[in-house]
Amino acid sequence: MRRILIIDAIPTRRIVMKAKLGAAQYDVVVAADAREADQHIRTMPFDVIFADRHLDGPGGALGLCRTLKSHTTTQHVPLVMITDALADQDVLDALAAGYDDVIRRPLSERVLLAQLRALMRRQNGADQNGEQTYLRDMPDTAAKVTRPTRLAIVASSLNDARHCAGAIADAVSSPPPPQIMVQDHAGILTALRAEPELDTVLLMVEPGREEAALTLLSDLRSRGAARGAGLILAMDPKQPTYVARAFDLGADYVVSCDANAKELRIRAELLAKIKLQDDALRLKVRDGLRMAITDPLTGVYNRRFATEKLGQIARKQEEFAVLMLDLDHFKKINDLHGHGVGDQVLATIARALKANLRDTDMLARIGGEEFLIALPGATPAQAIGTAERLRQVIDETKIKAPATGRAVRVTSSIGLVHNDGRAPSIEVLMAKADEALYCAKSHGRNMVSVSAAA
């Protein structure tokens, strides 16, 4: 069950909010001030923290926010300020201090619950098991922003969108200024086909056109360049039904139609920052997966993944072939030209092999100069033909040593075994391919040797 902390000095407000959230199946903990809140935070984790604008203690609600955002255990927990008087400066101060959002009393229960779901969705993204917390602790996962953020402003008319864009561009905030795209409701989906990925979208809604705007919001959340962007909806806040639906359809923020430009820019930049951090985490995951299954020098699969892949091929194919390929006299290349040239030879040969194999074939480096190749669905004749072609490709590949300018020639020996589905195990197949490779080397190298059928 998700746990929520409410910090408010007024007992009746704490009780009412706890009842509303408790009825929605949240585990709710309450505190009268920052000191009591700190005691709870030290003993249990929270998914969202609500804090009243007028808290007692050093720095009040803003000081509390800065403290929580500076601690590793709470810095990624969504923090929401609740206030009675929602002056522009209150919002700006709260967002600048690090609050994730600001909401105003009286609280609409429907809007509150929808906004709470949006906060948790933004916090978790696609991750539900804590992997992002682990990845954030790894080095080099912070988003290094070297480009302006990309903001799209969408209004009923282009003139309205341009007017808002000018005001946001002039608002003082973090450099560099955002790249702003303007478009009307009718043309945005078509325009996005040619646009790079957006970081934030501001959708402005005229009174009376809420239903159409929510349909557009749903389309934006599911399409192309805006699919992963942060979404801000500017609409009449006195329409709780539409506001709640906006949150549930994917809006990250719902603000008043007359929100000032500085607030809009700050919110847009906050959402862009979240997106860039999430993108950096996804890249880290992708790079980690690639490193786990590939050889860093050649870019082909490594031995561990190749063994698992070979087992998968064996389960799916009635017949396939396994080739064990070794570069001849490779030690002499390292001795004569240096290991740098040896590495260049390995990378060049790997590229040549990959260019002469099908997409369904598997290529892996399983040792210093040894490669494993699997040919799913290949008959014995097809496998021998492929092996001979690969041997010839390597024989004809020339690599120039940078220091001397001399061409480095390399040949290969290949052991081949064909499996018609009767091999007892992958280990047996690889052993037979290795035996055939040894036979090729012992009979003069630069040749293909075929093992008896497995």
At 218 the pLDDT is 93
The domain ranges of the chain are 1-107, 140-289, 303-450
At 395 the pLDDT is 94
At 4 the pLDDT is 96
Angle (nearest 5°) at CA 293 between 287 and 295: 90
What is the second-level CATH architecture of the domain 1-107? Answer: 3-Layer(aba) Sandwich (3.40)
At 214 the pLDDT is 95
At 143 the pLDDT is 45
**CATH classification for the domain delimited by 303-450, as one of 3.40.50.150, 3.30.70.270, 3.40.190.10, 3.40.50.1220:** 3.30.70.270
> For the chain, which residues score pLDDT lower than 70?
85-86, 124-146, 317, 453-454
Per-residue b or e along 312-349, where b marks 16 or more CB atoms closer than 10 Å to that residue's CB: ebbeebebbbbbbbbbbebeebbeebeeebbebbbbbb
At 401 the pLDDT is 79
Global pTM reads 0.70
At 454 the pLDDT is 53
At 127 the pLDDT is 47
At 144 the pLDDT is 52
Domains 1-107 and 140-289 share a fold: yes
At 86 the pLDDT is 64
Q: Which residues pair with 29 in a beta bridge?
A: 5
At 58 the pLDDT is 77
Q: Class of 140-289 per CATH?
A: alpha beta
| 382-415 per-position pLDDT tens digit | 999 999 999 999 999 988 877 777 788 899 999 9
At 129 the pLDDT is 42
At 402 the pLDDT is 76
CB 306 within 8 A of CB 323: no
At 453 the pLDDT is 60
